[in-house]
Structure 1
Amino acid sequence: MSDTHTIGWIGLGKMGLPIASRLAAAGHDIAGFDRDQRRIAEAVEGGVKPAATLADAARRDIVFTSLPDDKVLAAVALSGGLFDAMREGAVLVETSTVSPTISAQVAQAAARRGVAYLRAPVSGNAAIAHTGNLTCFVSGPRAAFDAVLPIAQDFTRAQKYLGEAEEARFAKLAVNLMIAVSAAMMGESIVLARKGNLAWQDILDVLTNSAVGSPMVHYKAKSLETRDFSPTFSCRQMAKDLDLIIGAGQAAEMALPLASLTRETYGALIGRGEGEADFISTVRLAEWLAGLGEPDLDTDEGRLA
């Protein structure tokens, strides 16, 4: 490996932990920090050096953050001492899904410190983070992107540079809007087919082998074969992202009727106790609204009685 930069990683959660471990396995000198000591211990098992404090991780050449939401990013970057610890000329790579508004505030704080700030939200989920098959959208200083690219290539399969400001934030929200609306449509489509007495597997085969058979449809149809709703990305997380999307639309003075309607779908799922279930639980909500129970997959392939 030709890269000699030291890396700090802040946030060893569902995404941060497997990515940091993958970078350690690739030979990078990486130190990780999380408020949860158990996560640091898991990272150490994966070859990541432990950082005793946030400041210890932040003093490295290139610092990555992987955080759950705007509130935590603000606490770390704007009031948590991140930039106090980072040295002038270092690079901050922020990989979370957050609003353009908070990201712009982080950009201002980085500029005051002389830190190059890259917005680099990743697309994919925790189930594939360890495989290197994530993608990332990046905006910020082009020179910083070029410096970080060899590292990004060790945990993503594709990297797209989009501009100097918040372009990457809007790209990630645009992608997640498509995913959310597609999941809502998939739920209603499957239940409509069930009402027409199609077998459970038959409708999944129809969707995957038709013009709508996108990679997401193929991926989710596989787990739906056995009605596996264990979360790769939860309903609650999707609702949070839809709130970001709607907020970005309001700031841009545009209407997002599909986003707003889909947010109501996920609100209903959370209200029914499905907040931690996978976002494709839209199928179960559609079944409930249609008065259907779960199909019996062991008899007649799930046809209605």
Structure 2
Amino acid sequence: MSQNTSSIAFVGTGVMGRSMAGHLLAAGHRLHVHNRTPARAQALVDAGAVWHDSPGSAAAEAEFVITIVGYPSDVEVVYLGEGGIVERARRGAVLIDMTTSSPALARRIAEAASARGLSALDAPVSGGDVGAKEARLVVMVGGEAAAFERARPLFERMGKTIALLGGPGAGQHCKMSNQIAIAAGMLGWAEAVVYAQKAGLDASRVLEVIGGGAAGSWSLSNLAPRALAGNFAPGFYVKHFLKDMRIAIESAEEMRLDLPGLALARRLYDRVAAAGWEDCGTQAILRLYAAQAGRADDVS
């Protein structure tokens, strides 16, 4: 079977995974799917994908296994648990974890995979729900070059910026750098919005103006307008962003690196979650700032 018509197992068909898997199916690949909540994979099954009751069952049918699940604990179970992907995948298969997860866990999976004649890549992505739908994700990859080249045609169906950063774990380290940059940026646009509103300006107009200059960013252009419109639906969940920041802080501590901006962002997002907004999109940070601004008005 050529790479143009590969058999692919795809585990995790949530907000992003559903679109990513859909691009592969549309490209003519044979798709075997599993998701913890079966209903979220139904559209893919209706389009021709084959449903499996477990990740291991799907992996047993595939040349490539792609996962994008919730937390490192989920990744560990899916890959290393009894009857999981590493145990059941075909010899020679390429395992690709696109979850944002722990660099150390990525290295463990690569070692376990190699011992069974498999290749493993850690390939977390950035771009959120929009990037997934438009196949414009940034794909950050760690692993062996030969496995990366085999998987490249699949990555190109899902993303536009694709890079191999180094050996196992390198993709996750790159994603941590990405999340660290985003964390500070989210606070920046939220503070800019409440400042503009307090000054009596049209915050939407302010975003249009400053977005064309040095303050511009993907988050400012895409997430800030959603928040101003009262749209807090998840392109990327607060609870998953908190998970990413925890991984980044733990990795930084292992390297004896102090990141005060990241620490502040985590504290504020902990408050967002505590307010009951952990299942909202990350733009819900504006709700926290707006609530604080409201309290300040009450005091004055």
**TM value normalised by structure 2:** 0.91
Question: Match of 1:62, as an amino acid?
Answer: F
Question: Which residue does the alignment assign to 1:72?
Answer: 74
Residues 162-241 of structure 1: pairs in structure 2 closer than 5 A = 162-241=165-244
In structure 1, distance between residues paired with 2:36 and 2:290: 40
Change (3 A) 1:228 1:144: same
Which residue does 1:260 correspond to in 2? 263
- Tell me, yes or no, if structure 1 residue 117 matches structure 2 residue 120: yes
**Cross-structure match for 1:47:** 48
CA distance in 2 between partners of 1:40 and 1:208 (Å): 37
Distance 1:234 1:101, change over 3 A: same
Change (3 A) 1:292 1:210: farther
Q: Deviations over 1:90-143 (max 9, x none)?
A: 110111000112212212211211211111111111244132111201111101
Quote the Cα distance in structure 1 between the aligned partners of 2:204 and 2:53: 51
Shift of 1:32: 0.9
State whether residues 25 and 47 of structure 1, in contact with CA within 8 Å, keep that contact through their aligned partners in structure 2: no
Q: Contact 2:12–2:67 (CA<8 Å) still a contact in 1? A: yes
* Structure 2 Cα separation of the partners of residues 17 and 65 of structure 1: 11
- CA–CA separation in structure 2 for the residues paired with 1:293 and 1:219: 28
Distance 1:265 1:38, change over 3 A: same
- 1:63 is displaced (CA, Å) by 0.9
23 and 206 in structure 1: CA distance in 2 versus 1, 3 angstrom threshold: same
Structural mapping, 1:1-305, within 5 Å: 3-59=4-60, 60-81=62-83, 82-291=85-294
Deviation at 1:247, TM superposition (A): 0.8
Q: Is the 8 A contact 1:20 1:48 kept in 2?
A: no
RMSD: 2.0
Counterpart-to-counterpart distance in 2, 1:194 and 1:80: 54
**C-alpha distance 246-43 of structure 1, shift in aligned 2 (>3 A):** same
Count matched residues.
294
Letter of the 1:193 counterpart: A
Instruction: Provide Cα deviations, 1:208-259, integer angstroms capped at 9, x if missing partner.
Output: 1331112321112432452322221122221111111111111111111111
1:301 alignment counterpart:
none
Distance 2:90 2:286 in 1: 49
Stretches of structure 1 lacking an aligned partner (at least 5 in a row) = 295-305
Shift of 1:179: 1.2
Structure 1 residue 2: Cα displacement: 5.9
Distance in 2, matches of 1:13 and 1:202, equals: 33
In 1: Cα distance, 2:118 partner to 2:146 partner: 12
Q: C-alpha separation between the residues in 2 aligned to 1:43 and 1:289?
A: 43
User: Which region of structure 1 is more displaced relative to structure 2, 129-138 or 199-208?
Assistant: 199-208
Q: Which residue does 1:299 correspond to in 2?
A: none
Of 38-47 and 21-30, deviating more is 38-47
1:293, CA displacement in angstroms?
9.4
Amino acid at match of 2:264: L
TM-score (norm 1): 0.90
Greater fraction of residues in helix: 2
Structure 2: tracts of 5 or more residues without a match:
none
Opposite residue 67 of structure 1, the aligned amino acid is V
Matched letter for residue 31 of structure 1:
H
- Which residue identity does 2:290 align to in structure 1? E
What letter matches 1:32 in structure 2? V
1:150 Cα offset (Å): 0.9
